[in-house]
Amino acid sequence: MSPADPELGLRELQILRSAGLVSARGYAAAVSVVRDEAFWARWGRHALLTLGAGQFLAGVVCFFAYNWDDLSDLAKFAVIETALVIAAGGALLIGLDRAFGRVLLVAASVLTGVLLAVIGQVYQTGADVFELFVAWAVLILPWVFVSRSAVHWMLWLVVAEVALALYASQVLVVVSDVTSGEMWVLVGATIALALAGREFAVQYGLSWLSAHWTRLVLLFAATVILFIPAAAHAVDAGRFGSPALCLAAFLLMIIAAAALYWHLWRDFAALVIVIAVADAFFICIGFRLIDEAIGFDFDDAAPALASLGAMIVWAIAGTGSAALAMRRLRGTLQGAPA
Amino acid sequence: MTTLTAFCARTGIDVAPAREALNARGPYDDAPWYMQAVLGIGAWVTAVVALAFAWVVMDMAFDVDEPNLVVAIAGAIVFAVSVRLLHHRPEGAFTAHAAVALATAGTLMVAAGVGVPAESVWAAVIATVPFAAAAVWQQRSLLLQFLVVSVTLILLFVAIWDHWGQMTADLPAVFVPFGVALLLYPPMRDVRPTALALLVVPQLIEILVFNFDTGWKLWFGWPAKGLLLFVFAFLVFINWRRVGDSQAQLLAAVAALAAAIVAFLLPTGASAALVLLALAYTIGSRSLAIIGALAEIYFIWLFYWDLQETLLTKSVILMSAGAILLACYGLLIGAMRERRPS
């Protein structure tokens, strides 16, 4: 961005409007000059495709949900397998270099899960639910690789993480001495690993994974999942177990993410996620400290006023620091690639 | 993105005063939306603790059992001091955050201090209106504007529901045209947070409240859908005028008509989400596009759980709607391919 000839966005346009240089009637036309025409044309097309495909598939689901009990087992399999073949065949025919082809392959992956669920329902296999998700994740993995689609990859990750979480809660927690806290850390850590894999892959030229939202979604999921048990320990609520591991994993994630997205990849939006979660944890710590030191006792005026007053100061300190950090980082990272 | 000189050349505005206006921007709160969201949540947390603090002070120090005029006056003073603080030290991150949180808490104290003794939610709404106006008038914090206007809107919803004795599901539709108008024809003061509150807060209230209650709809929701689709048609018309050739105009009109028919068949919220998507496209707002997309997904999902229709009827509606939209997509792609060689 050149200061002599700055780029204009909606904020700058509002400044020109406030200065009276753009009229109220001419504002919409001025916006059309400023906005990224190519991006919004592409967005409009994709919105139409997603809305259409989403509603059509939802309609198919409703139709079979209505008739499901009346269908014979053979008919149930026939319906799902036909849809699966149509979706996969359609993807092959149209080609995965086109958006519609990729959407069809994603639909085929979803239908694979539906087929597995029906197999379990019809044959009463007695398998644990996690086995269904494991089988689903394994079966669709080749499609995920060939599709070169970030959405498809994200779908696979959700299925795999659900399988892992179910395995941990149904087997590890019951059979072994694994605590609930360790289970949360395991799930959060694997998402963090997926994020690391995404960064590594993008560095080595895997451009289809480079969409910014993939980084933000994975970072948000990993930090929030690691935050929950750590915060529960911080405020002494819930029975997660393994406090040291939960706190260490959360702090490690926050520090590593802050360092990497500040110095290495210079991504302001990612840093906002890190700061927000760290701020929430800071407020939880404050709550515990004030509770231990003064106590939230509302029967007496002095401790009630002192504890709530201290909490206000702590919350202002936490969010004020977060605001300060974000403002400074924004200035530093301005113009850095997202 | 367009540069200032390119923009001025296309719109006929002088470059010098435009550059001067951009350089002269004062302590302007122009953080991106996700940063504002983080700060907004922090401000809410602080405001809630501040309210609890005020309640303890009133109860234990002044023996005030329930909110009264003293609480309202204290709230007004907190608001005034906070706005003054914001005006004088807008750059300080701690003071700015404290001022936004305390001003929001002050507004809530005024609402409670006036509304509870009068046993009237309408009185609480009327009491917050001057504070909402002041929050719009101050231009230091867009976040404060959003929070205080949101408080007024939430109270207004409660007042209307309390007055009619039942929840009205269509109410959010009334606010949408105002939000759209403020974003398309903005006044000289920056009212984007007010517009966003008008567009989003009523939808959020509807989503949260009608998870627990089915609510009442005027004439099965048709007037609300009609109003929303009128706004949608207006937005389409604005974009349609900008399209160059007649074939593209025809395609755009067909696609818009298809989208409108689809929205008309779905719950009212889906029409509101469609307006948000069209507005996002018109003004090039990615944050509105994200909100609109999430709302559209939610309302289509809600339609599945709606008990008023059988699954068979729903499946026919959804499949027809999807087929129409996919046909439009196919037409659009086909037309684009035809045009590419020339």
The pLDDT tens digits of the residues spanning B307-331 come to 567 777 878 888 887 888 788 777 7
- How many domains is chain B built from? 3
Cα–Cα distance, B79 to B111 (Å, whole number): 12
Model pLDDT, residue B218: 65
Given pLDDT bands bounded at 50, 70 and 90, which one contains residue B165? low
Poorest-confidence range of A64-78, B96-110, B210-224, B253-267?
B210-224
In chain A, domain spans? 71-174, 179-338
What is the structure's pLDDT at A338? 43
Q: What pLDDT sits at residue B336?
A: 67
Interface of B with A in 66-95 (CB under 8 A): 93-95
Predicted ipTM?
Answer: 0.73
Determine contact: B42 vs chain A, CB below 8 A.
Answer: yes
Q: B330 and B270: one domain?
A: yes
Residue with the bigger pLDDT between B79 and B91: it is B79
> Poorest-confidence range of A136-145, B197-206, B252-261, B274-283?
B252-261
Q: Is pLDDT at B220 greater than 70 in this prediction?
A: no
CA distance A334 to A211: 19
Q: Residue B27 pLDDT more than 60?
A: no
Q: Give the side-chain half-sphere CA count within 13 A for B318.
A: 29
Angle subtended by helix axes B222-242 and B246-265, to nearest 10:
160
Nearest neighbour of A301 by CB, restricted to B52, B61, B322: B61
Residue pairs spanning A and B at CB distance below 8 A? 250
Same domain, B198 and B144: no
Tell me if A155 sits within 8 A of A109, measured CB to CB: yes
Residue of higher predicted confidence among B48 and A67: B48
Does A57 sit within 8 Å of B322, measured CB to CB?
Answer: yes
Domain identity same for B72 and B15: no
Spatial CA neighbour of B31 closest among A218, A268, A270, A32:
A268
- pLDDT at residue B295 above 80? yes
**Helix, strand, coil percentages in chain A from 3-state DSSP, rounded to 5:** 80, 0, 20
B97 lies in the same domain as B157: yes
Region A189-202: what's the mean pLDDT?
93
Both tokens of B216, joined, read 């009442």
Residue B211 included in any domain: no
Tell me the shortest Cα–Cα distance from A46 to chain B, in angstroms: 9
The whole-number average pLDDT for the span A294-318 is: 83
CB B39 within 8 A of CB B31: yes
Query: Is residue B240 in some structural domain?
Result: yes
Taking an 8 Å cut-off on Cβ atoms, the answer to whether A315 and B101 are in contact is: yes
Cα end-to-end distance, chain A, whole Å: 15
B319 Cβ under 8 Å from any chain A Cβ: yes
What is the model's pLDDT at position B342? 47
Contacts of A36 in chain B (CB under 8 A): 1, 284
In which band, very low, low, confident or very high, does the pLDDT at B341 lie, cut at 50, 70 and 90?
Answer: low
Taking the CA of residue B103 and the nearest CA in chain A, the distance in Å comes to 13
| Closest chain B C-alpha to A177 CA, distance in angstroms | 37
The reply to whether B256 falls in a domain is yes
CB contact under 8 A, B323 and A52: yes
B232-271 confidence digits (pLDDT tens): 888 888 877 777 677 667 767 777 777 777 667 777 777 8
What HEC string does B2-70 produce? EEHHHHHHHHCCCHHHHHHHHHCCCCCCCCCHHHHHHHHHHHHHHHHHHHHHHHHHHHHHCCCCCCCHH
Q: What is the mean pLDDT of chain B?
A: 81
Does one domain contain both B36 and B91?
A: yes
Is B299 part of a structural domain of the chain?
Answer: yes
Q: Which residues of B touch A217 (CB under 8 A)?
A: none
Q: Which residue segment(s) compose the domain that B226 sits in?
A: 170-203+218-342
Q: Choose the mutation target among A290, A312, A314 for the interface with B, i.e. most B CBs under 10 Å.
A: A312
Shortest distance between the Cα of B64 and any Cα of chain A, in A, equals 13
State the pLDDT at residue B12.
79
Within 8 A of A272 by CB-CB distance, chain B residues are 34-35, 38
To the nearest whole angstrom, how far is the Cα of B175 from the nearest Cα of chain A? Answer: 20
Q: What is the pLDDT of residue A159?
A: 92
Residue A2's pLDDT band (boundaries 50, 70, 90)?
very low
Residues 6+ apart with CB under 8 A from A328: none
Whether residues B78 and B141 share a domain: the answer is yes
Q: Which residue of A has its CA nearest to B57?
A: A305
- The residues in B 198-237 lying below 8 A from A, measured between CB atoms, are none
CA B200 vs. chain centroid, Å, equals: 3
No. of H helices and E strands in chain A?
13, 1
Does residue B134 or residue A1 have the better pLDDT?
B134
| Contacts made by residues A217-222, CB under 8 angstroms, sequence distance 24+ | A217/A154, A218/A157, A218/A191, A218/A192, A218/A194, A219/A195, A219/A257, A219/A261, A219/A270, A219/A273, A219/A274, A220/A273, A221/A191, A222/A188, A222/A189, A222/A191, A222/A192, A222/A195, A222/A253
Does residue A236 register a pLDDT over 60?
A: yes
**Residue contact B56–A298, C-beta within 8 A:** yes
DSSP summary character for residue B308: T
Distance CA A185, CA B64 (A): 47
Residue B4 and residue B62 share a domain: no
Tell whether the model's pLDDT for residue B92 goes beyond 80. no
B297 and B194 within one domain: yes
Which chain B residue's Cα is nearest to A47? B293
Residues B197 and B324 in one domain: yes
Shortest alpha-carbon distance between residue B186 and chain A (Å): 6
pLDDT surpassing 80 at residue A166:
yes
Amino acid B128: pLDDT:
94
Residues of A in contact with B145 (CB under 8 A): none
Say yes or no for a CB contact (<8 Å) between A48 and B328: yes
Same domain, B162 and B183: no
Q: Chain A contacts of B49, Cβ < 8 Å?
A: 308, 311-312, 315
Q: Is residue B95 part of a domain?
A: yes
Alpha-carbon distance of A159 to A134, in angstroms, equals 8
With an 8 Å Cβ cutoff, are B53 and A301 in contact? no
What is the average pLDDT value for chain A, to the nearest integer?
86
pLDDT at A205: 83
| A11, A16, A55: best to mutate for the B interface, most B CBs within 10 A | A55
Taking the CA of residue A178 and the nearest CA in chain B, the distance in Å comes to: 34
Q: Is B148 at the interface with chain A, CB within 8 A?
A: no
Please compute the mean of the pLDDT values over residues A59-85 and round it to a whole number.
82
Quote the minimal CA–CA distance from A179 to chain B in Å.
31
The pLDDT score that the predictor gives to residue A1 is 44
* pLDDT at residue B338 is higher than 90: no
Tell me the two tokens of residue B14: 């002088």
Specify if B213 maps to a domain: no
Whether residues B285 and A60 touch (CB distance < 8 A) is answered with no
**How far apart are the C-alpha atoms of A162 and A270, rounded to whole Å?**
24
> Do B249 and B269 fall into the same domain?
yes
Q: Are residues B250 and B158 in the same domain?
A: no
CB within 8 Å: A15 and B281: no
